[in-house]
Amino acid sequence: MSKAAKMAEASVKGGFNLFWGQAISNIIMSLGVIVVTRLLSPSDYGLYTIALTVPAFITIFRDWGINTAITRYTAQYTQEDKPGEVKAILLAGLLFETILGIALSVFSVLFSDYIATSIFNRPNIAPLIQIVSFTILANAFIAVAQAAFIGLEKTGLNSVIMILQAILKIVLMPTLIILGMGTLGATIGVTLATLLTGIICIGLLFRLTKRLQQANPATKISKIIRVMLTYGLPISISAIITGFSTNFYNLLMAVYCTDLMIGNFQAAVNFSVLIGFFSIPITMILFPIFSKLDGKKESETLRITFRFSVKYASLLVVPATIVVIALAQPAVYTLFGDKYSNAPLYLILLCIPFLYTALGNLSIGNLLNSQGRTQTTMKLTLANTAIGIPLSLILIPNFQIIGIIATNIIATVPSQLLGLYLIRKKYNATISWRSSARILTASAAAGAIAYIVTFQISFSSWIKLALGGTLFIATIILFLPLTGAINKADIQNLKEMQKSLGPVQRISTPVLDTMQKLAPRLPTTQD
């Protein structure tokens, strides 16, 4: 078996572990969101959302690229059988994140009154900001642990953490709201859930380092931190720029949008995480996979891996995105009720950037960062922001929530295309434009059929959702092979990769067999 094939099989197993964790945790969280949105009014839910944006904004100054460095170097040193260096990376990363997490949590508490009054013009949310400030430190613990789990290929632990946090949130938040605490209860609930999860993550992380106890670090912790910062600072700057842009948009949203609009928008955002079932595991698993390759010595393997990472990611993410677009209205009304009347339109527009997966959106940054070209990703982020900020100042005051979404849709395209150009120039790697077009075409056709059928019937929303979803799955299984979006060589590759999935093969094998009978016999190199 070739190295690319071995990595593909390992990535499928790791990706599946992340997938089931992401899926189960998001299902649990979705149930919690449904309960919370029904217990709170859209306006109260909007206030809760605004309060959470403060620690989210401050958190972007916490990481400094350390977590990405943890994943990269633990994957690299594990491959090179250097347990002492792995231990040093874990200890250094945890120490750095703890110190900065404490400092930023204190900062958030101290300046909560000023932020609530002077920035958001909502002094009543100051106590909420103070409470959620403690999630900054807790999320630092969680982030370090998750980065380590991915780099060490212990993605099952990552899934356990996600599910645990989701369970804690769904228990604590509704309970405190029902007890009469309202928005305050939701805020306390999410904070307690995050703190408890962070403590458990620290326990698991120390257990990992204890197993490496006999492997003493060969390098001093201070030197390791310097190495990690050298690698990670451009990534951190990218994250800060992205976070600044996002929170700048949120600030404009708070100024120009009503609480009712914000509540509808957040409901749509919550539903769009369903696509994260597919996109987030792919994003998380690709980075350590690319990190194991040397672009100079293994250029052909890197080229093949990049090409197929885009194609196979698109086969999952693009159909998932299209079905959400096609069934946005019955889906939102089924879960949140018709009081969130603007959420379906917001959801449709929010889904559009996920379609950029077919252009390599999930793979470009992972490939560049894995090869140490973090300054390139920083420049791409700067290009994105240079377009997005001026656009937001025009679109958000005039179009409110739609302006926010339109800004994100438009601003990312130039940097996306520039990233593809740089990867082709540096590594002679590119996507299969033909495959991407066919996947988009097949998915759009299946989505159109599902939408037209559900639009014609006058059943309740949940029946429309079930019928439309079933119809989409049936048609996409037919359209992908019939349009040549997937060929017999692809299906054979998928069959090989699924061998590590155990019982899941009972579901995937019949589907692949059906597609194989319909697929054209094309060599892998064409697509």
CA atoms within 13 A on the CB side of 489: 10
Q: How many CB atoms lie within 10 A of CB 180?
A: 8
Residue 1 lies in a domain: no
Residue 156 lies in a domain: yes
| Cα–Cα dist 13/420, whole Å | 27
Q: What is the DSSP string of 122-133?
A: -GGGHHHHHHHT
* Tokens standing for residue 173: 């938040």
Residue 207 lies in a domain: yes
CB contact at 8 A, 330 and 468: yes
Q: What is the pLDDT of residues 95-121, one digit of tens each?
A: 888 999 999 999 999 988 888 888 877
Q: What are phi and psi of 64, to 5 degrees?
A: 60, 25
pLDDT at position 69: 84
| Cα–Cα dist 213/218, whole Å | 12
Residue 54 lies in a domain: yes
What are the CA-CA distances from residue 410 to residues 344, 354, 415 (Å)? 20, 13, 10
Number of domains in the chain: 1
CB contact at 8 A, 411 and 391: yes
92 burial type by CB count under 10 A (0-12 exposed, 13-18 middle, 19+ buried): buried
| Cα–Cα dist 390/181, whole Å | 40
Q: Which DSSP symbol is given to 181?
A: I
| Cα–Cα dist 21/341, whole Å | 31
Residue 133 lies in a domain: yes
- Amino acid of residue 19: F
Q: What is the pLDDT of residues 359-413, one digit of tens each?
A: 888 888 888 887 778 788 888 888 888 898 899 899 988 888 899 899 989 988 8
pLDDT mean over 437-457:
90
Residue 64 lies in a domain: yes
pLDDT at position 480: 86
| Cα–Cα dist 155/151, whole Å | 9
Residue 217 has pLDDT above 60, yes or no: no
pLDDT at position 45: 80
Q: What is the pLDDT of residues 263-280, one digit of tens each?
A: 888 888 877 777 766 666
Residue 476 lies in a domain: no
Range of the domain at 158: 42-225
| Cα–Cα dist 155/366, whole Å | 17
Place of tokens 């377009």: 387
pTM, rounded to two decimals: 0.68
Q: What is the H or E stretch that residue 14 is in? A: helix 3-39
pLDDT band per the 50, 70, 90 thresholds, residue 5: very low
Residue 140 lies in a domain: yes
- Amino acid of residue 377: T
